[in-house]
Amino acid sequence: MAYLVSVEEAEDRWIAHVPDLPGCFAWDQGRDLAIQAVPDAIDHYVAWAKGHGIRITGLSAPMQVSEVIRAWEFEDKNIVQAFFATDRPPVHSEELREYQLLLDATLRDLAVVLEGLSPEDMEHSFIGEQWPISGVVAHIARAEWWYFDRLGLAFPRGQLPEDPIEAVMTVHQHTLDSLDDLVERSGVLTVGGETWSARKVLRRTLWHRRDHHEHILKLREQFR
């Protein structure tokens, strides 16, 4: 049986998600190139998980591209992110342990990539970048808070710490604390023109953390 790949256009690039491996994705400026990169992304993901002590079985069956969704704008030019058919099934309680392990792994990755950076490094401006590294970290926290807010599961926005690292730690703990609540959210809902589900929240959380981990790695290379 073929494994599914769901592809979306987002932020001027194409992202190919592998739903059977939460947080596994490939991206490129071209749609076909993003899809072609999926097998290597799976190998990298399996090795990454193993490095964190997480046993993931690779996918050896043929690939099947199940959906391709282009980005589109809602009111006030807000970009609506894809909702795939694979986002619709409810999250089951037996999946929570794997999600917790993956979430903890991505948090450790973030801690490692920030290790040794001085306050000046964190605030350094990069040509062509919207934020310094501190801003990228703050963005990770704000986005994850926003995902859970779509389902009515976020804490009050004013309680999000101003310090970026503290904000990420706070949101991470809230995410772990909310896993049981996600199991109870079996339906989907549309907020601001975008459709959400518990499974989409987890998919986007893991994707977003891993995507920006690679982003920060590239920014750090400019200090060499």
- pLDDT tens track for 52-93: 999 987 788 899 999 999 988 776 667 889 999 999 999 999
Asked if 24 and 45 count as a contact pair (C-beta separation under 8 A), the reply is yes
Q: Has residue 187 got a pLDDT over 70?
A: yes
How far apart are the C-alpha atoms of 66 and 184, rounded to whole Å? 27
173 vs 35, 61, 69, 150, CA distance in Å?
33, 36, 32, 18
Q: Has residue 10 got a pLDDT over 90?
A: no
Evaluate whether 1-76 and 88-224 have a shared fold.
no
Q: What percent of the chain has pLDDT over 90?
A: 87
Dump pLDDT digits (tens) for 84-116: 999 999 999 999 999 999 999 999 999 999 999
CATH 2.60.11 for the 1-76 domain, yes or no: no
The number of C-alpha atoms within 13 Å of 115 and in the hemisphere containing its C-beta is 7
pLDDT at 39 (0 to 100)? 95
Mean pLDDT confidence for 118-143: 96
How far apart are the C-alpha atoms of 58 and 200, rounded to whole Å? 22
Mean pLDDT confidence for 187-192: 91
Q: Give residue limits of the domains in the chain.
A: 1-76, 88-224
Q: Has residue 156 got a pLDDT over 80?
A: yes
pTM (predicted TM-score): 0.95
The dotted CATH code for 88-224 is 1.20.120.450
Residues near 111 by Cβ (< 8 Å), separated by ≥ 6?
Answer: none
